[in-house]
Amino acid sequence: MAIRIEGAVKRYGPKVAAIDGVTLETRPGELLALLGPSGSGKTTLLRAIAGLEFLDAGRILIDGDDATALTARERRIGFVFQNYALFRHLSVFENVAFGLRARPRRLRLTEAEIRDRVLPLLRTVQMEEYAERKPAALSGGQRQRVALARALAIEPRLLLLDEPFGALDAKVRRELRRWLRELHDRLGLSTVFVTHDQEEALELADRVAILNQGRLEQLGTPHEVYDSPATPFVAEFLGDALRVPPRLRRALVPDRPHGGLAMVRPHDIELLPPGGPGVPAIVRRTASRGGALLVELELEDGNRIEAEIARGDAHEAEGRIAPGTRVGLRARIAHLFDDAP
Amino acid sequence: MSGGFTFHRPTAVPAFGPAFGIAMLGTGLLVLLPLAALLLRAAGQSFDSFVDAAFSPRAMAAYRLSFGASLLAAGVNAVVGTVLAWVLVRYRFPFRRIVDALIDLPFALPTAVAGVALTTIAAPDGILGRIAEPFGIKLAFTPFGVFLALLFIGLPFVVRTLQPVLQDLEPELEEAAALLGAGRASTFLRVVLPAIAPAAATGFALAFARSVGEYGSVIFIAGNMPMVSEIAPLLIVVQLEQFQYGAATAIATVLLGASLAVLLVCVVLQRRLERDRVA
């Protein structure tokens, strides 16, 4: 099951375009992340795929068939809302059975058939023992699993998740992330999810589509987008990146001394002994950032930049990063872009 | 006071004393005092004369008409008003704001004006009257006219009670239903209606309470034939005009009791709906 979006445009008012000419294609069975800051159009794009928003221009093809004019009801797409949108007056069982009961009369199932469909789904999402509870009596993570089972009950061609982990606390989030990835691998259902958390997208998805101001910046595997960002925006959005000022360019990035814009990630900055090659700087402060050590460095012109070194290296470099020591800086890897926007 | 009854538990919200005092004084002076005076006045006569006045055939006919037409009108309004509120909240169409403003007209209009206006269209030569005539239905000066007037004045109560509730109802619920394959009607019946039922019950109760007491807009269109199209509030006025104060208060007492009973049923029903909705 593959979906293709061609030149999608959605405007709110004459000047505001939520999506502004997006073309992308999913691969059958893949888990695709739509990643971007708020206002980048990622949720609008997801809603357009579902048929909840209608495009001003462009087409949506599902398995090669034009689905642009189909209503949400006709598309048979599973959708999990950010706030889950569970039906409060219905039990967990009835929430999941909703889509089965909503079928047209000639396709309607018997009560026994409905049970045979709903109970295995509740087992899949580990909610079997809560079948008779109302949503109000469930935790956030449980509600989300019910919403997922409800979406899966209609045997969707495609599963869409809007900020699936947005409303959960950090621990539940991580657990659910792993669980969702396993579930996806087991079901093999093409899935698109929206997130603003780059870590989540890189960890979970097969491919990541990065959106900015309604445009697609890059589409690729987590390694591709992180290691070879297509645009300065992607480089900066997927973790920190320093825009190398022209006057430091030759010393910091000696192998590509000029042309375009060079960007360097903090963990790609190498600390060398003073007096040798590299940009001279003084260590001002160090701070622990989990497995890495953050080193705040003052350049000769008084500007400060940050480097990040792994904890193991930190021990070796101990003498070299004490506050007040002089060092030379050089970029191990730099990302180069043609035009500085 | 260890473990005993505390009248007012300490809170961070200030001014409990004055606020509570004003609230109780208001309730007492404006609500309880007049009702107590009514009951006292009604009790000032012999039991037999009370029963004679309160349950005379003419009074019984008036109760039947008042409560029957009010229940019916409030019921129809609960349905029509719910749909109207839904349309106003969920859809965007030309003149929506004007339609929305028109809903309040029965609130704002002096009841006598409403009565005259309704009588004009319902009279045999009026717009509605002419349409109904070939079917052998007489609108004006019949119980049907009473129903029509109550329909008119009750509508805003339902619409205005439901609008905020519908506004707060997440649109995602309806979208989720559509994505799961439910049509518009099915979405409304199975998703929207259960969520707004408590508010609809409140709207029904308000419309009903107003209808039972409605006087001005009804008396023109009703024709006020004793035993046929005479409403209970009018009968009270008739008794007062004849200086039958005892009879008037007796009828008023029955009206009060019955209204309270109906409101009580509505409150219980609403509580139950509310409970089913969440727990």
**B199-230 pLDDT, tens digit each:** 898 899 889 988 998 988 898 888 888 888 88
Cα-flanking dihedrals φ and ψ of residue A134, to 5°?
-90, 155
pLDDT value at residue A319: 67
pLDDT value at residue B4: 61
Note whether A233 and A246 are same-domain residues.
Answer: no
Q: What percent of chain B has pLDDT over 70?
A: 96
Task: Confirm whether B88 is domain-assigned.
Answer: yes
Q: Mind telling me how many Å the CA of A133 is from chain B's nearest CA? A: 8
Selected residues 49-88 of chain A with any CB under 8 Å from a CB in chain B:
50-52, 71-73, 75-79, 81, 83, 85, 87-88
Torsion sign over Cα B2, B6, B11, B16: negative
pLDDT value at residue B229: 85
pLDDT value at residue A339: 65
Which of A87, A94, A146, A148 is best to mutate for the B interface (most B CBs within 10 A)?
Answer: A87
At which of A173, A208, A237 does a domain end?
A237
Selected residues 154-173 of chain B with any CB under 8 Å from a CB in chain A:
170, 172-173
Can you tell me the distance from the alpha carbon of A291 to that of A6, in angstroms, rounded to the nearest whole number? 42
Chain B environment of A51 (Cβ under 8 Å): 179
Q: Contact A85/B175, CB-based, under 8 Å?
A: yes
Chain A environment of B182 (Cβ under 8 Å): 73, 98-99, 102
Q: Contact B172/A99, CB-based, under 8 Å?
A: no
With contact defined as beta carbons under 8 Å apart, do B270 and B196 qualify? Answer: no
Which residues of chain A have a pLDDT value below 50?
A: 341
Give SS3 for A296: strand
pLDDT value at residue A175: 85
Note whether A197 and A51 are same-domain residues.
Answer: yes
Closest CA to A268 of A230, A220, A229: A229
Q: How many domains does one find in chain B?
A: 1
Give the mean pLDDT of chain B: 87
Range of the domain at A246: 242-337
With contact defined as beta carbons under 8 Å apart, do B178 and B187 qualify? Answer: yes
- ipTM value of the model? 0.84
Q: Residue B23 corresponds to which amino acid?
A: A
- In chain B, DSSP assigns E strands to none
Note whether A221 and A252 are same-domain residues.
Answer: no
At which of A213, A237, A261 does a domain end?
A237
Burial string for B42-52 (b: 16+ CB within 10 Å, else e) reads beebeeeebee
pLDDT in tens, A261-281: 889 999 898 888 887 788 889
pLDDT value at residue A226: 93
Contacts (Cβ under 8 Å, ≥6 apart) of B5: none
Note whether A16 and A100 are same-domain residues.
Answer: yes
For the entire predicted model, the pTM comes to 0.79
SS3 sequence of A227-289: HCCCCHHHHHHCCCCEECCHHHHHHHCCCCCCCCEEEECHHHEEEECCCCCCEEEEEEEEEEE
Copy the structure tokens of residue B191: 């998703």
Closest CA to B180 of A289, A131, A148: A148
Note whether A47 and A142 are same-domain residues.
Answer: yes
pLDDT in tens, B60-91: 999 999 999 999 999 999 999 998 998 899 88
Chain A environment of B170 (Cβ under 8 Å): 83, 85
Angle, CA B96 vertex, CA B84 and CA B119 arms, to 5°: 60
pLDDT value at residue A86: 95
Task: Confirm whether B182 is domain-assigned.
Answer: yes
- In a 13 Å sphere around the CA of B71, the CA atoms on its Cβ side amount to 11
B48/A contact by beta carbon, under 8 A: no
Note whether A80 and A205 are same-domain residues.
Answer: yes
pLDDT in tens, A35-66: 999 989 999 999 999 999 999 999 999 888 89
* Facing A102 at nearest CB: one of B175, B186, B194: B186
